[in-house]
Amino acid sequence: MEKTQKSIKRLKSGKALNQVVAEYYLECMQAPREGRPVVWMPPMNGAIEMCYAMDLQPVFPENWSPVCAAFGLTPRNFEVAEGMGYSRDLCGYLRNIIGYVNGPMQAEAAMPLGRLPEPDILLSPNGGCVPVMKIFHALERRFPSAKVFAGDLPQVAVEEIKQHHMDYAVQEGARLIEFLEHAGKRKLNEERLREVVALSDQACALWDEIMTYRRVIPAPFSAAEIGIMFVMVTRQGTAKAVDFLTLVRDEIQERAHQHQGVIADEKLRLFWDNIPLWYNMGLFNYFEKMGGVVVAETYSAAWSLRLDPSRPFESLALKSLRSYPMVSCVSVERRKQMLLNACREYHIDGVIMHRNKSCLPITLGQMDIKRALETELGIPTVFIDADHMDARNFSVAQFQARADAFMEMLLARKGYAHG
């Protein structure tokens, strides 16, 4: 097994995904030439719909990091960031993007997907996790001519969201629109926003539908295909996301109806908690040799929500308030219930917990979730110590030793003979 490797894609729509990704980054590069202001922002909030409704180009530096990892460009970015004094103990997304904008982004040679266009506008978040806030502070320094909007977003557990949190998030959304109208020199058309929110809601509905097919045994697709999430990060609120997800849904529906699984003999169904190793998506295939399929993961829950197009401002505020806590330590109790439910619904045999050095917010609370899985459902867990961005924090040998022992134990529990 290699330390870095790509996953095996089995969905035909995987090819369409490559095109969707390439088109998105091409669109980003063309935006300045086409007069569309470029807006750099964090993912998982309602600003994306506002940007698409106003014909602004949203760009997600956080999403660029998995792209860099996939193309093996992170070591150079880390070298630049660490050379600037950023500690290796900091989040890999942070070190990667700071290294990228201060190094390779300025180089002549572009990456396979081009490069990110410089931002005209930075949406610097006051909310979410600390590393993402610090990323944008560093970006403000790197791009001093960009116009900056620092928007507050209450950091509160999903089950604790009260009216005053909603009111404040709506108010900050209104302030953002006012800023974008001024900085982007265009007006927001509310009718257009309702259309965009309706498209976003359709994408969420399709996402939920796609996820329900993973309950089928054998699973029609695995976490190795989770790259489909790309449209939920970068294209929410567009017909492109809806079209792509429709294509994925149709293919998965067909595979489910035909009982076409990921592998010929699915013996074990697994759940992956925490962010994948972007430089080694092939890890998901590793379990297949012993009949294991990773049929669900935490990250997909971030997009499991609905929006009401008739109340676009409130819907986007609620989306912004819920997305990060849903998958982080802000809502450990909610996340625990989400995992327990997922394990029941997806008929999970074992859970792989990625103890992720690059993401404390998702890693914290894992031990409590592990205990709940064991006591309430009798589902075993294995911990994999790694890092979603930095391959230096991942040991192949240690992973194999733990994964193999875990799989053998799960197989024995289900009555399969060893080997």
Partner 1 sequence: MCSEIVNSFVQAWHDHPARLRRLTAAGRKCIGYFCTYTPVEILYAAGFIPVRITGGRGTVEKAYSLAPDFICPFMKRSLEKALAGEYDYLCGVIQSYTCDAACGMLNIWKENLKGTHYHLLSLPYNDNDGARTYLRLELKALMERLVVDTARISANALGQVVDLYDGIRQRISLLYAGRFKGRLPISAQELAYVVLAGQVLPPQDYHEQLERLIHSIDDKDVEQTGVPVLLSGSLVEEPEILGAVEAAGLRIVADDLCTGLRPYSPAFGRGEDPVDRIVDRLMARSPCPSRSKAIQRAAHLRTLVMKSGAKAVIFLVQKFCTPHLADIPILAEELKKMDIPILVLEMDEHWQSSGQFQGRLQSFLEMIVL
List the structure tokens of 319.
């989306």
Q: Is the dihedral of CA 345, 290, 388, 352 positive or negative?
A: positive
Q: How far is the CB of 375 from partner 1 (least distance, A)?
A: 12
Size of the site for partner 1 (CB under 8 A): 48
157 contact partners, CB below 8 Å, separation of at least 6: 325, 330, 331, 333, 334
For residue 296, the cross-strand partners are 271
Asked if residue 299 lies in contact with residue 362, where contact means CB atoms within 8 angstroms, the answer is no
List the structure tokens of 398.
């240690």
Q: How far is the CB of 40 from partner 1 (least distance, A)?
A: 16
Q: Does 329 help bind partner 1 (rule: CB under 8 A)?
A: yes
Q: Is the dihedral of CA 36, 42, 48, 50 positive or negative?
A: negative
Amino acid at 215: R
Candidates 215, 355, 392, 402: give the one binding partner 1 (CB under 8 A): 355
Q: Does 398 help bind partner 1 (rule: CB under 8 A)?
A: no
* Candidate ranges 21-29, 32-40, 152-160, 402-410; the one touching partner 1 (CB under 8 A): 152-160
Alpha-carbon distance of 32 to 80, in angstroms, equals 27
For partner 1, what does the binding mask look like between residues 119 and 148, x meaning CB under 8 A?
Answer: -------xx-xxx--x--xx-xx-------
DSSP string for residues in 305-318: ----TTSHHHHHHH
Query: Which residue, 131 or 237, is less far from partner 1 as judged by CB?
Result: 131
Q: Is the dihedral of CA 211, 212, 215, 220 positive or negative?
A: negative
Q: Does 307 help bind partner 1 (rule: CB under 8 A)?
A: no
Q: Is the dihedral of CA 138, 141, 146, 150 positive or negative?
A: positive
Query: Which residue, 94 or 302, is less far from partner 1 as judged by CB?
Result: 94
For partner 1, what does the binding mask look like between residues 332 and 351, x meaning CB under 8 A?
Answer: xx------------------
Tokens 């998030």 belong to which residue?
169
Is cis: bond before 125, omega within 30 of 0? no
* Candidate ranges 65-73, 226-234, 287-295, 356-364; the one touching partner 1 (CB under 8 A): 356-364
* Candidate ranges 16-24, 48-56, 149-157, 306-314; the one touching partner 1 (CB under 8 A): 149-157
* Contact set with partner 1 (CB under 8 A): 84-87, 89-91, 94, 126-127, 129-131, 134, 137-138, 140-141, 150-152, 154-157, 160, 162, 164-165, 167-168, 171-172, 175, 328-330, 332-333, 355, 357, 360-361, 363-365, 367-368
